[in-house]
Copies of this chain bind each other. A is one copy, B any other.
Amino acid sequence: MKSPTLHDVARSAGVSYSTADRVLNGRGGVAEKSAQRVQRAIEELGYRRDIHAANLSRRRNYRFLFLLPRGDHGFFTTLREALLHETVRRLVDRLVITHYDVPAFDAEALAAELSRINPEDYDCVALIGVDSNILDAAIGRLVGKGLPVITLVSDSATDLRQSYIGIDNVIAGRTAGRLMLLTHKTRTGRILPILGTMGVRDHRERLQGATEVISAPGSGLEILPPIEVQDRPEIMLDRVSEILKSDPAITGIYSIGGGNRGLVDLLSRIERNRPVVVLHELTPTSRAALKCGMIDAVIDQKPAEEISRAIDAMRAIADDLPAPDSRVVPTIYLADNLPDPNANGGWT
A118 partner residues in chain B, CB cutoff 8 A: none
Known A56-B56, A297-B182: A337·B330 in contact at CB below 8 Å:
yes
A118 to chain B, nearest CB (A): 15
Write the chain B residue with the least CB distance to A167: B337
- In the complex, the answer to whether B346 meets A276 with C-beta atoms within 8 Å is no
Q: Please, what's the 1-or-0 string for A166-196, where 1 marks a CB less than 8 Å from any CB in chain B?
A: 0000011011011100111111000000000
A211 to chain B, nearest CB (A): 13
A61 partner residues in chain B, CB cutoff 8 A: 1
Partner-B contacts on A (CB < 8 A): 1, 3, 48, 50-53, 55-56, 61, 91-94, 96, 171-172, 174-175, 177-179, 182-187, 209, 213, 276, 296-297, 309, 312, 326-332, 334-340, 343, 346, 348
A309 partner residues in chain B, CB cutoff 8 A: 348
Known A50-B56, A182-B183: A329·B337 in contact at CB below 8 Å:
yes
Interface majority SS (helix, strand, loop, mixed), chain A: mixed
**Complex alpha-carbon distance, A282 and B48, angstroms:** 34
Q: Which of B171, B326, B340 contacts A327 (CB 8 A)?
A: B340
- In the complex, the answer to whether A332 meets B331 with C-beta atoms within 8 Å is yes
A53 partner residues in chain B, CB cutoff 8 A: 52, 56
**Complex alpha-carbon distance, A213 and B48, angstroms:** 53
A276 partner residues in chain B, CB cutoff 8 A: 182, 185
Known A56-B56, A91-B48: A329·B348 in contact at CB below 8 Å:
no
Q: Which 6 A-B pairs have the closest CB atoms?
A: A52-B52, A174-B336, A332-B332, A178-B334, A175-B337, A329-B346
A280 to chain B, nearest CB (A): 13
- In the complex, the answer to whether B334 meets A338 with C-beta atoms within 8 Å is no
- In the complex, the answer to whether B332 meets A339 with C-beta atoms within 8 Å is no
Write the chain B residue with the least CB distance to A184: B185
A324 to chain B, nearest CB (A): 9
